[in-house]
Structure 1
Amino acid sequence: MLKISTQFDGGKVEIVEANDPSNILLKLPKDNAAEFRQWFYFRVQGVAYQNLRLNFINTAESAYPAGWEDYQAMCSYDRINWFRVPTTLENGILTICHTPLSNSVYYAYFEPYTYEQHLNLLGDSQSSGLCQIEDLGSTIQGRDINLLTIGNQVASDLKIWIIARQHPGETMAEWFIEGVLGRLLDHQDPTARALLDRATFYIVPNMNPDGSVLGNLRTNAAGANLNREWLQPSMHNSPEVYLVRERMHETGVDLFLDIHGDESIPYVFLSGNEGIPSFDERLHQLQEQFKQAFLVASPDFQDKYGYKKDAAGQANLNIATSYIGETFKCLAYTLEMPFKDNNQWPDDDFGWNGQRSLRLGEAILSPIYSILDSLR
């Protein structure tokens, strides 16, 4: 018997009609306290060897309608191994066509990174002996906001901050952090050892645990888009940003990376700080040096496609990268990965996925190492 369910971590979809496997009608669900629609994650049972047609009939209401062009949905039988399945967009309806080989199958907008995985990542990192876990406080729904500190924590150390998943549906961001941590905590990796000899890393793997569990695309439990809260965060509306920002002011920041995913642009790219009031030749040279080293470190990165640069003095200081870059006069970048495939280096079977995000996280340590001498 056909059944669709979402009662699990990050699960979310609206069911309109689910009687005929060849014509299932669904809607993209909105965030719990906001109107953003794009994320979906659900389980289908009782349809082994049947030709499924899953039709999302409200793509016009989605936050990023262009995100569905050339998009292929993700699928898994065991929630460990994910692959792409044929997906089309026609007359505003997004259709997933798939014949499951088992009676239980999952479909998602992108490969999930669950709260259990998040907690396991914290535990694995702490067990390395190089990492300390700090509780900064609680989210609106009472989940922990954890900071991982790796390094000697001496005054002379460079202070490198990396945060991820301000937008909870951008799960590739936490896959990226897993890659960063895996390499940084490897006692045998010479780049990691050289970095930790001179720098302390402050890493927040998941800025928005409430939104992650709720299956939100962009907001926390209060409906706040955390990446628009940095100028005036509050414990009432955005405690995640408030508490992390307070800790940043205590430590200082020499390099800041904010890790995201982009729904529409099928490339890995960086978004810099050309629009902040204090942007100068030093920051320009730092940006260029970092980008050139990143191009060498990973063929998945490119610098041709991305966001339009802000005009001088026109940056939105509510955004994390702009606020941190302006406040600390430091190199600050937003890194974006695709929900679709990466057209720089496409993969028909898997597209961009968790493992590729993880490998990119490993690669980012090389450009960080290349600019250490220039950060101050």
Structure 2
Amino acid sequence: MKYYKYLLLIGVLVLVRCRSNVASVYDFPKPVDTHSQSIVMQDKRLYKADDVSADNRFDGARLNNFFQVDDQTFQVDIFPENTPINPSPWYSFKIWSDNPRQLDLILNYDSVPHRYQPWLSNNGIDWSMMDSTKIEMLSENKVKIHLQLARDTLWVSAQELVNSERVRTWCLDVSRHAAVHFDVVGKSLLGKDIYRLRIGEGIEQKKPTIIILSRQHPPEVTGYFAMQAFIDEILKDNPVSNAFREKYEVLVYPLMNPDGVDLGHWRHNAGGIDLNRDWAYYRQPETRTVANDIVKKLHKERSKVILGLDFHSTWYDIFYTNIPQTKSLTDFKDFWIYSVKESIQDSILERASEPLTPVSKSWFYEQFNAVGITYEIGDGTSRPYIKEKGETTAREMMKLLLYKD
């Protein structure tokens, strides 16, 4: 009998250990169905009309059709991966002409309003925003842009192109820092790598942990830029950053949706789902991988998440926060937002709500009783200001956490 009791005890311990390595599921008051939905894959090809060519054969491209309207005018169609969908009409393509010429190019989004002012590049790396005087609104869902073409390729994109390969390059560059460890923690639905950066110095055990997420939504490049500046500040060689890395650990998941990014999606992953609605049952492999990786690592190191920041983009800069306070960081967000506002001498928008829907900020609160913040940057926010804000928010966070006791 003692033998069977011993086996039962071992079985219970194994079950508890296994369960402690996976994220808990939640029934949020406002649930969202995140079972996979079908998507429409764009036809990757070289288009040619008259002496003008357009190309979407690269990761991050979005171009669904290209044709000539008249002698001076051409049109590109930009359609989403599936519907219903948030109106974030991402586009990115290459265009050139056999002969130097000027032309008008219509961007047609069908039933969705124009959102992103075009960015132009001659090499796909260095970008500049298009002159607004060369852009004409034809209707809510059609815009005409005036281009000067030549035989050399011109890249046209809704934002700067930052596909999975460029995120990987950034991760490798950042991981040269002695305090950074770069890992692949799993695979997306289409088998792409899901990256993690671990930042910290000294022992890993029992360190308070900050979680950073980015690119759940493919077009949200400005939020990604803020995340990069945020991380850069944490890695600087100065008294505050050095002390912070000794006392705290930061887990960064910089590319939550590699499939959606490389497929040029407007919003969803390859399963046709908004990943920032999948933090209840983790039906998509990307959210499941990251959620379980966080929980497993914390259990192994006997650590605790105190803060989660999820970087996004929207029409303007704003922080979305939770109304409930946490025991570990009472009033943190209020002091943090105030200190950032004082430092950059600019207004800071915040909108607080109850954790009712399965988004990441709600999950941070429910899973860890941690502060959860959706860190939004405007689509058109200037790049120098994004850098300043990313650095400032990181610096003020570190100072508050270091001196909170």
Same fold (TM over 0.5): yes
Partner of 1:347: none
The list of structure 1 runs, each at least 4 consecutive aligned residues, that deviate by more than 6 angstroms after superposition, is: 280-284
Counterpart pick for 1:209 among 258, 265, 274: 258
Q: How does 1:314-329 map to 2 (within 5 A)?
A: 315-329=355-369
Q: How does 1:56-67 map to 2 (within 5 A)?
A: 56-59=107-110, 61-62=111-112, 65=113
CA contact (8 A) 1:33 1:222 kept: no
CA drift at 1:164:
0.3
Could you tell me how far apart the structure 2 residues matched to 1:9 and 1:297 are? 38
CA drift at 1:178:
2.5
Partner of 2:340: 294
Could you tell me how far apart the structure 1 residues matched to 2:388 and 2:348 are? 18
CA drift at 1:18:
3.0
CA drift at 1:370:
2.9
CA contact (8 A) 1:58 1:93 kept: yes
Partner of 1:229: 278
Could you tell me how far apart the structure 2 residues matched to 1:284 and 1:372 are? 11
Partner of 1:73: 118
TM-score, length-scaled by structure 2? 0.77
Gaps of 5+ in 1: 343-351
Residue identity in the other structure for 1:220: N
Could you tell me how far apart the structure 2 residues matched to 1:95 and 1:360 are? 31
Residue identity in the other structure for 1:89: M
Could you tell me how far apart the structure 2 residues matched to 1:254 and 1:35 are? 32
CA contact (8 A) 2:102 2:147 kept: yes
In the alignment, is residue 98 of structure 1 matched against residue 152 of structure 2?
Answer: no
Counterpart pick for 1:178 among 221, 225, 228: 228
Q: How does 1:1-376 map to 2 (within 5 A)?
A: 1-18=51-68, 20=70, 22-31=72-81, 38-46=89-97, 50-59=101-110, 61-62=111-112, 65=113, 68=115, 72-85=117-130, 86=132, 87-100=135-148, 102-103=150-151, 104-152=153-201, 153-186=203-236, 188-234=237-283, 238-250=284-296, 251=298, 252-262=304-314, 265=315, 267-274=316-323, 278-279=324-325, 285-298=331-344, 302-304=347-349, 309-310=352-353, 313=354, 315-340=355-380, 342=381, 352-353=382-383, 356-373=385-402
CA contact (8 A) 1:316 1:322 kept: yes
Residue identity in the other structure for 1:94: K
CA contact (8 A) 1:32 1:221 kept: no
> Residues 257-300 of structure 1, C-alpha deviation per residue, up to 9 Å, x if partnerless?
000011xx2x32211112xxx4479867222111112223445x
Q: Could you tell me the percent identity over the aligned residues?
A: 21
Aligned CA distance change for structure 1 residues 279 and 178 (closer, same or farther; 3 Å) = closer
Gaps of 5+ in 2: 1-50, 299-303
> Residues 306-360 of structure 1, C-alpha deviation per residue, up to 9 Å, x if partnerless?
6x543xx4x33310011112322222110111113x3xxxxxxxxx34x654443
Could you tell me how far apart the structure 2 residues matched to 1:325 and 1:180 are? 22
Report the 3-state secondary structure (helix = DSSP H, G, I; strand = E; otherwise coil) of the residue aligned with 1:7. Answer: coil
Aligned CA distance change for structure 1 residues 96 and 106 (closer, same or farther; 3 Å) = farther
RMSD: 2.7
CA contact (8 A) 1:32 1:214 kept: no
Partner of 1:348: none
Aligned CA distance change for structure 1 residues 280 and 131 (closer, same or farther; 3 Å) = closer
Report the 3-state secondary structure (helix = DSSP H, G, I; strand = E; otherwise coil) of the residue aligned with 2:219. Answer: coil
CA contact (8 A) 1:21 1:47 kept: no
Aligned residue pair count: 343
Could you tell me how far apart the structure 1 residues matched to 2:161 and 2:369 are? 35
CA drift at 1:215:
0.5
Could you tell me how far apart the structure 2 residues matched to 1:375 and 1:9 are? 44
CA drift at 1:38:
0.7
Could you tell me how far apart the structure 2 residues matched to 1:216 and 1:368 are? 32
TM-score, length-scaled by structure 1? 0.82
CA drift at 1:33:
8.5
> Residues 13-58 of structure 1, C-alpha deviation per residue, up to 9 Å, x if partnerless?
1225236473222222212687556110011111775333221233
Could you tell me how far apart the structure 2 residues matched to 1:317 and 1:271 are? 13
